[in-house]
Amino acid sequence: MAVLVDITKCIGCEGCTVACKLYNKLDFKAKPRNVKDGLVELDDNRWTVIQRYSDHNLRFVKKQCFHCLEPACASACFSKAIQKDEKTGAVVYYPDLCVGCRYCLVACPYSIPKYQWNEQFPQVAKCQMCDTRLQHGDAPACVSACTTGALIAGPRDELLRKAHEIIDNDNRYVKHIYGEHEVGGAEWLYISDVPFDQLGFKQVSDKPVTYYSKSYLSKVPGFAAAWAIFLAGLAYYNHRVEKNKKADDKDKGQEG
């Protein structure tokens, strides 16, 4: 399951953000924790936000986790608290497995995961793409709440074909689908009539973050084996030193 966002059709009604809070039982009264340049950013109680841009044309942009095809957050999570659900496409956070290392916050090229700094037992918070709904064949709650057709859910290949058909036959649109190739591609795809860099979208490489880490990770087993051998040798050396010391002390005791 993927989602196609047509920015030209969003009217900023916030129906999607309300649906997200209701379905995920998020706090409606919580004040925004992150506000940048007058725009409310994602936080642990806002898994999706609508940002208003009016420098040129008035546009409303929905932001949430992109659910990458090769998620850097999942790659960085050694406890498997973040996993890519290959059936639904969602990148899901499992709090019971989380050890609180926050590597996912550093790894994400979009700075999506947020940490519950004010909680006694903090967890990571992010859009789950309503994975339980997807498992039953339903669209994410935000998509179901959209009345203008700005959000469309479906198989990624079909949505890409639809998006290309739209931007190829309508000169209003930028000839680019954000999320098709960015950091290896994502389940959330965007089309727009305003350049994406003017709407707060990060300019990132087409290569997934895991592409850069694989060459280093491939060397980890060798380093680990060498380190284990070194530690074993050190332990053996210390054992021999201690054994010889005890033997010397025993000989001295007998001489006395």
CB 128 within 8 A of CB 166: no
CA 123 to CA 148: how far, in whole Å?
34
Go through 75-101 and write b for each residue having 16 or more CB atoms within 10 A of its CB, e for each that does not.
bbbeeebbbbbeebbbbbbeeeebeee
The pLDDT of residue 194: 96
The pLDDT of residue 120: 86
- Per-residue pLDDT tens listing for the chain (256 residues): 999 999 999 999 999 999 999 999 999 999 998 999 899 999 999 999 999 999 878 999 999 999 999 999 999 999 999 999 999 999 999 999 999 999 999 999 999 999 998 888 899 999 999 999 999 999 999 999 999 999 999 999 999 999 999 999 999 999 999 999 999 999 999 999 999 999 999 999 999 887 665 554 445 556 556 665 766 666 666 667 666 666 666 665 665 5
* CATH number for the domain formed by residue range(s) 2-212: 3.30.70.20
Q: What is the pTM of this model?
A: 0.82
CB 73 within 8 A of CB 104: yes
Instruction: Determine if residue 137 is left, alpha or beta; phi over 0 gives left, psi from -120 to 50 gives alpha, anything else beta.
Output: left
CA 6 to CA 146: how far, in whole Å?
11
Closest residue by Cα to residue 176 from 161, 163, 162, 157? 163
